Amino acid sequence: MPTLKINDISVNVEPGTLLLDACAQAGFPVPSYCYHPSLSPVATCRMCLVEVKGQPKLATACTTTAMDGQEVYTNSKSVADGRAGVMEFLLINHPLDCPICDQAGECKLQDYSYQYGSDDSRMVEPKRRYHYEDLGAKIVIDKNRCIHCTRCVRFTREISGGGELIVANRGAHLEVTTYSGRSMDDNPLAGNVVDICPVGALTSRDFRFNKRVWYLKPVPTINRLSPLANPIWADVDQNRLWRFRPRPQGTKLSTQFMFDADRNAWHRYDIDPATRVVAPTLGGKPAKAEDIAAALRAAGTVAVIGQGTFGCDAAQRLGDLASSPDLRYGSGDRLDQIQYPALQLSSDGVINRRGFSERGYRFGHLDELLARVRSGEVKAVVVLHDDVFSSRGETGRIREIMAAATFSLVLEPIPGEMAKAGAATLPVATYLEESDFVVNHDGELRRYQKALEPPRGVKTIAAWARELAGALYGAMA
């Protein structure tokens, strides 16, 4: 293992470690723009300059490998001068439009300018000007703000593969643009260029001018639409959701980026409270939970159909409602098309199949349950469902089971057709309104925290299930 000194602090690093990472490991993070752990290094921005003893010039930490015995300085005068010079060049054409820029508050140019730049400008010449351009319906580019780090260009070549973005022209006329006005609409990963743009040059049509980011509170949650339940941030303010963003786990590629469809899924959970059903229903009319418990008890043997896209706590509590352990059935058969094998590590779109299976739910046995209901062995079914994760065929099979049963209770966080078909319903919180965890296909435990407060009357799946189980079988731990 190479041992080197960074600002006179000794540090051991793995062979092949970049100086940029070694410096961070030693507690001296180095500023960077063009470097991205998932993209090829280009060393174009020169922001990560460090001094390496014995070398005549400053070195770029993002392309220099840490060597045994090296002495590196990130806090010398020459490094400070180098960074200040780079900042001055980067700001030559950059507009002072932070008050109207979406990136303000999470902009590396703002941060580094404040930390390493000058509070004055020697520029008297007029700045270069472009009109903003739509790169299709999803992305807007403001070239005035671009610092030509080429992260976005490399992303479209190396990760999404479309190569829509290019660097055109030379010198002061350098600009990031698309070939002959191509749009990014066909790129299913387009939104990521907004995340990786270190300044506010690439903005999202969906988020643009909607919210100042310093009002947003990022809450760690998961992407229910990614097969591995990838970690993401849910940005919220005043109990409203504003966007989803990736929450990278180290350099793990599949967590660095997210699909636009997954990113836009936040709209589904931004529910107008006025439209929420906030009371249990029985026979289509508002009812009390006790009435539903009494109806369940009166019906007789209870089976549970739990869709494996909910949390493990929900699965455990819901399972307690089944009259016997073999009456826990799993549902969910969403299959994802693999377009990008490096990002989509499984095609099974049921993120917590493993967690549900570990709690006794049997997947692929709904026909068996239908037969047991038809034979009169099972009288009542409790269904936990989300339309998005079941095919029409599976949804139809569950509806058949419900129709054959004496009594059916549906728990659907976003009520749909299934809720309409149930004899009773309970108003349950969405996954953003509760804290729980899933065990993904790789066996990784992925937690999610409560990001939003549910309306009064709406409870978590686990809370309802516990209440009903108490009424059916006596108080449970």
Residues in contact with ligand SF4 by CB under 6 A are 146-152, 176, 197, 199, 201-202
CA 155/CA 365 separation, integer angstroms: 43
Write the DSSP assignment of 189-212 as a string of letters: TTTHHHHH-SSSSEEETTTTTT--
202, interface contact from ligand FES, ligand SF4, none, CB < 5-8 Å by kind: ligand SF4
Q: Which does 43 bind (CB under 5 to 8 A by kind): ligand SF4, ligand FES, none?
A: ligand FES
Closest by CA to 145, choosing from 178, 97, 193, is: 97
Q: Which does 176 bind (CB under 5 to 8 A by kind): ligand SF4, ligand FES, none?
A: ligand SF4
When the beta carbons of 248 and 349 are compared against ligand SF4, the nearer one is 248
Considering only 32-40, 116-124, 255-263, 273-281, which stretch makes contact with ligand FES by CB under 6 A?
32-40
Structure tokens at 370: 């239908």
The window from 30-38, 72-80, 113-121, 375-383 that contacts ligand FES (CB under 6 A) reads 30-38
Q: Does 39 bind ligand FES (CB under 6 A)?
A: no
The single-letter code of the amino acid at 135 is L
Closest CA to 108 of 204, 34, 19: 34
62 binds, among ligand SF4, ligand FES, none (CB under 5 to 8 A by kind): ligand FES
Integer Cα distance of 70 and 8 in angstroms: 10
The answer to whether 263 and 191 are in contact (CB under 8 A) is yes
Q: Could you say which of ligand FES, ligand SF4, none residue 52 binds, taking C-beta under 5 to 8 angstroms by partner kind?
A: none
DSSP labels, 64-114: -B--TT-EEESSSHHHHHHHHHHHHHHTSS----GGG-TTTTS-HHHHHHH
Distance in Å from the first CA to the final CA of the chain: 51
CA dist list (Å): 7 to 29, 32, 51, 126: 12, 18, 10, 40
Judged by CB, which is closer to ligand FES: 34, or 72? 34
Closer to ligand FES at the Cβ: 73 or 361? 73
Give the DSSP letter of residue 172: G
d(CA 225, CA 232): 11
Shortest distance, CB of residue 42 to ligand FES, whole angstroms?
A: 7
| Helix 289-299 vs helix 461-473: crossing angle, to nearest 10 | 50
199 binding ligand FES? (CB under 6 A)? no
Which of these ranges, 29-37, 353-361, 368-376, 393-401, lies near ligand FES under the rule CB under 6 A? Answer: 29-37
Q: How far is the CB of 249 from ligand SF4 (least distance, A)?
A: 22
Please state the φ and ψ torsions of residue 468, each to the nearest 5 degrees: -70, -40
Spatial distance between the Cα atoms of 263 and 265, rounded to a whole number of angstroms: 5
Choices 38-46, 102-110, 268-276, 291-299; region in contact with ligand FES by CB under 6 A: 38-46
Min separation Cβ 49 and ligand FES, Å: 8
62 binds ligand FES (CB under 6 A): yes
Binding of residue 60 to ligand FES (CB under 6 A) = yes
Query: In the complex with ligand SF4, which residue's Cβ is closer, 181 or 376?
Result: 181
Q: How far is the CB of 46 from ligand FES (least distance, A)?
A: 5
36 and 257 in contact (C-beta within 8 Å)? no
Residue type, 368: E
Residue 391 C-beta-side C-alpha neighbours within 13 Å? 10
Q: Which of 48, 135, 315, 439 is close enough to bind ligand FES by CB under 6 A?
A: 48
Q: Which of 25, 28, 37, 43 binds ligand FES (CB under 6 A)?
A: 43
As a whole number of angstroms, the distance between CA 63 and CA 69 comes to 18
Q: CA–CA separation, 250 vs 253, rounded Å? A: 9
Hey, what's the torsion of the CAs at 426, 429, 431, 436, to 10 degrees? -90
- Residue type for position 39: L
Binder to ligand FES among 17, 32, 64, 144 (CB under 6 A)? 32
Task: Kindly state whether residue 46 participates in binding ligand FES, applying the rule CB under 6 A.
Answer: yes
Min dist. Cβ of residue 102 to ligand SF4 (A): 12
CB 178 → ligand SF4: shortest distance, Å? 11
Q: Which of 4, 17, 21, 35 is close enough to bind ligand FES by CB under 6 A?
A: 35
* Contact positions vs ligand FES (CB under 6 A): 32-35, 43-48, 60, 62
